Amino acid sequence: MKQILRFILVGLIVLLVSAAGLFGYLIYTPEPAMPALTGTLTKATLTLDGETYTYRLYLPKGLTRNAPLVMVLHGSGQNGAQIRTETGYGFERLADQHGFGVVYPSGKAFDWNDCSKTGDFLVNGHESNDLHYLNTLVDRLVAAHGFNPQRVFATGVSAGGFMALRLALESPTRFRAVAAVSANVPAAGNFKCKPMAQGTSVLLMNGTADPLVPYAGGEVSLLGLFFQNGQVRSATASAEFFVAQNQLPQSARSEVPQPDSHNVQRLKWQDQSRFEVELVTIVGGGHGMPQPYWQRPRLLGPSPMAPNGPELIWQFFARQKL
């Protein structure tokens, strides 16, 4: 009997050690070092329709009125604090240099209620109204801090990227441009949004080796078991969806040279209109925001430290015409 118990105990220890090793190899990654920033980060709440939402707001030192505002949206099951670190504080570094505010909203459901029909959008038994929440948050911040309402931008990673695409389609009057990372437009059978006639500029940034959101389109899932979010279009078809939405001619397409980046391909659609669409392809890149400050978990695929995703996104936002 003692030998059987000893055998079971040894087996459990081996199992626990193996699980810890797999966790350390596939999932664990140290947080990025905190940079020297000039401004202040405040945590605040917004009560709306009986729900209390939390957000974090970064304001650089000496920020003037009429400054731009960048909203950064987290992935599934996360919050605003996590996407702040997972982007390597990249947007705050840029905010110090270029003078804009950064807000990190936290959702209430596991997923943002984006354009997909599939996902965990329930809060207290009903679907979360994230569109209303984020629109209201923008309005409150513009009124309280004097941000330029025509220079409000949104970006997000994974589920946050999917939600950014919904903002582009259903709130283009509030968001001058959006940038979606590791997210594609849901396929026709998985699409529930009602796009407004007015467009807005859109950047998509996707890795060709993303194990969760397939670059070539298909079913969104991790290992076929987790984060299932239905069918999506390919990255190219998603960009072309917004080209059509913004009524840009295919002749407006051009390649952006990248002489110093062998793993980056950029296609841009732009003519004399107010709107622009860009597709940034990270060749061999996995799931998440490429940036030089933080290595993503191996479970999410290759994690190139270049290009600097936040910097590319801010450059895209900054050049949008009023």
What's residue 226's pLDDT? 63
What's residue 101's pLDDT? 98
Mean pLDDT of 64-80: 96
For residue 103, list its beta bridge partners.
57, 71
Counting residues of the chain whose pLDDT is more than 70, the rounded percentage is: 90
DSSP 214-274: -TT-EE--BTTTBS---EE--HHHHHHHHHHHTT--GGGEEEE--TT-TTEEEEEEE-SSS
Mean pLDDT of 88-104: 98
What's residue 13's pLDDT? 52
| pTM passes above 0.75 | yes
pLDDT tens-digit series, residues 240-256: 999 999 999 988 888 88
191 backbone dihedrals φ, ψ, rounded to 5°: -110, 125
What's residue 162's pLDDT? 98
Closest among 167, 159, 165, 155 to 309, alpha carbons compared: 155
Mean pLDDT of 5-32: 53
CA distance between the termini of the chain: 79
Burial class (CB in 10 A: 0-12, 13-18, 19+), 193: middle
- In this structure, what DSSP letter does residue 285 have? -
What's residue 19's pLDDT? 40
Cα 79 to Cα 63: distance, rounded to the nearest angstrom? 25
Mean pLDDT computed over every residue of the chain = 90
Cα 129 to Cα 116: distance, rounded to the nearest angstrom? 14
Nearest 10 degrees: CA dihedral of 70, 154, 207, 78? 90
